[in-house]
Amino acid sequence: MSKQTRISRKTVKDIAAAKGGEPLVCLTAYDAPMAEIMDPHADLILVGDSLGMVVHGLPSTVGVTMEMMILHGQAVMRGSQQAFVVVDMPFGSYETSEDQAFLNAARIMKETGCQAVKIESGAYAATQIAHLVERGIPVMGHVGLRPQAINVDGGFRAKGRTGSERDIVLNEARAADRAGAFAIVIEGVARDLADEITAEVSCPTIGIGASASCDGQVLVTQDMLGLFDWAPKFVRRYGDLRTDIDAAIGKFAADVRSREFPGQAETYSLRKPDAKQP
């Protein structure tokens, strides 16, 4: 590719510079075709561990493995050119120690080529974030509703709606910011708490079920496109692809059973022999 046509990816500095400015656009992607479609529109693409539920049909994100994250991360990198790509670190890959976190984060970055990793920021997270950043790995934090903690929380529920929860979430966001996170996802929290976090931390915040005042917004793409019967309260559906796909598959099935497909346009015929040369 020539220098004139080369497309440069956004960098950590580009994301950090968006603090307080035009909101950042972030969506999830798990494969190359979807990444290619959203790449011109998105500032960040998140290869979320939500792929366990969205793609693999798992009941939660807890069962997602390093191998799954790397495989999907590689696909998204192949499909995108300009967006900043972040890959989730799966449950059990970073909580135990700083060294565990670094070795797994380094593996993800080396094997996918992504620009950053994301970890769910419990009380332990600040130490791991600082350790990774000091060693050259950009880290996105994640506070509020943390899907990897579903077994402790007893399900997916909004956070920060009581005084004690509010203090926990706010302190986790402060700690992640001080540790060097370049951005923080705020998921499923009371709107005024998201506003307070966004005003207080120095890095951009990316909201999902949080507040329009966050420095950016992210949704699971399949939720936004209407591929599932149910979606969380905070999802706005911008499409109804489940209905469209169901109709297309139903039409295909009907055409096959009636022998309307394939037709002449979709089949091949014997080539005419080449004319003999004199």
**Beta strand pairing call for 44-47 and 24-28:** parallel
Contact between 223 and 31 under an 8 Å Cβ cutoff? The reply is no
Which of 168, 171, 205 minimizes the C-alpha distance to 187? 205
- Could you tell me how many residues make up the chain? 278
Whole-angstrom distance, CA of residue 36 vs CA of residue 69: 18
* 226, 243 Cβ separation under 8 angstroms: yes
Residue whose token pair is 């950016």 = 216
Known binding residue 10? Answer is no
> 49 among the known binding-site residues?
yes
CA dist., res. 37 & res. 155, Å (int): 33
59 exposure class (CB count in 10 Å sphere: 0-12, 13-18, 19+)? exposed
Q: Is 244 annotated as a binding residue?
A: no
- Catalytic-labelled residue, pool 187, 196, 200, 260: 187
Cα 114 to its chain centre, rounded Å, is 12
Contact 148, 194 (CB under 8 A): no
260 belongs to the catalytic site = no
Looking at the annotation, which residues are catalytic? 187
Residue list, annotated binding site for Mg(2+)? 49, 88, 120
